[in-house]
Amino acid sequence: MDLDSLIEKICNSKETYSLETLNKISNQVISILIQENNVLELEDPIRIVGDVHGQFYDLMGVFNGDKNIEKPFKTLGHSKYLFLGDYIDRGNYGIKTITLLLLLKIKFPHDIFLLRGNHETRAINKEYGFYEECLNFFQQESQSWKIFNNIFDHLPIVAIVNNYYFCVHAGISPNLTLFDIKRINRFVETPITGTFSNLIWSDPEENIDFWKESKRGSGLLYGKIAAENFLEVTGLKMIIRSHQLVESGTKITNNTTITIWSAPNYCYTSNNRAKIIKIGKKGLTYIEVLPSHEDKGHNNHFNQNY
């Protein structure tokens, strides 16, 4: 499999690729992912990316702020990238988005890290657009959707950066320790309740101290004391997560949790800003992701609760 040619094809054309090629991508990337632990241990320099939701041209902006794809991925080799999940659904280019990230993971296995989000589950991505996109892209071949979801079953759950930041798609769970996360069998469809579910569904809440049921139907709301207790038990200092649209691209809740959102003009209608986090020797800074002008399409699978 010619990685460079495939990456160029994904970046520069609207061509499809075959189910046979997808199988080859799957085999190669799973052989890498299966060697990674549930909890990744990473160090700076690193850039942390929140939800991108199939907005492919905005993903290119994550890698290249000037949108110059003639020399793509110029930062790779100088900085690692940690993506917090939700690569698909809502946007018009979920397959291009996840395929590019998988190819980059194969080419740069020590520079690209992909965590699992709540949309990397069959129950959600069959309903919110990705299943239909797979059928259209692969000429009504549903096997493609099954292959992608099998890959999603292999994605790690959490990353610890600099032994300081707890990075996860959504949030935390009651009485949670890092040992609990390491014991999870992640190679399955995510359950609708329990620790694994809470990690990809929970949200911080300013108006409570401990825990509260979430209106999402999965996960929990966690308050200031719950987050402080978790950080004290683990010896970590800050939670970094995505999962919720924030208009400015970032939000700090209870001085314990940073929410980062990386899909500008979400669903091509929200007019929100988007950012990524850069962690280096000088600490944490924010980089803005400018919205692409190449795609102003509209996707009707919008539901902020998911």
Strand order in the sheet with 211-213: 203-204, 220-222, 211-213
Smallest CA-to-CA distance from 60 within 270, 284, 52 is with 52
How far does CA 282 lie from the centroid of its chain? 25
Would you call the peptide bond into 72 cis, given omega within 30 degrees of 0 as the criterion? no
In contact, 87 and 54? CB cutoff 8 Å? yes
Q: What is the DSSP string of 267-288?
A: GGTS----EEEEEETTEEEEEE
At 181, the amino acid letter reads: I
In the annotation, is 243 catalytic? no
Q: Two tokens at 178? A: 């890092």
In contact, 127 and 89? CB cutoff 8 Å? no
Candidate list 53, 119, 169, 301, residue with the active-site label: 119
In contact, 161 and 84? CB cutoff 8 Å? no
Looking up tokens 């632990």 gives 37
User: Assign residue 21 a region: left if phi > 0, alpha if psi is -120 to 50, beta otherwise?
Assistant: alpha
CA angle 148, 29, 163 (to 5 degrees): 105
Cα 289 from Cα 182, distance rounded (Å) = 33
Looking up tokens 């071949």 gives 141
Looking up tokens 């990690």 gives 199
**Which residues are known catalytic residues?**
119
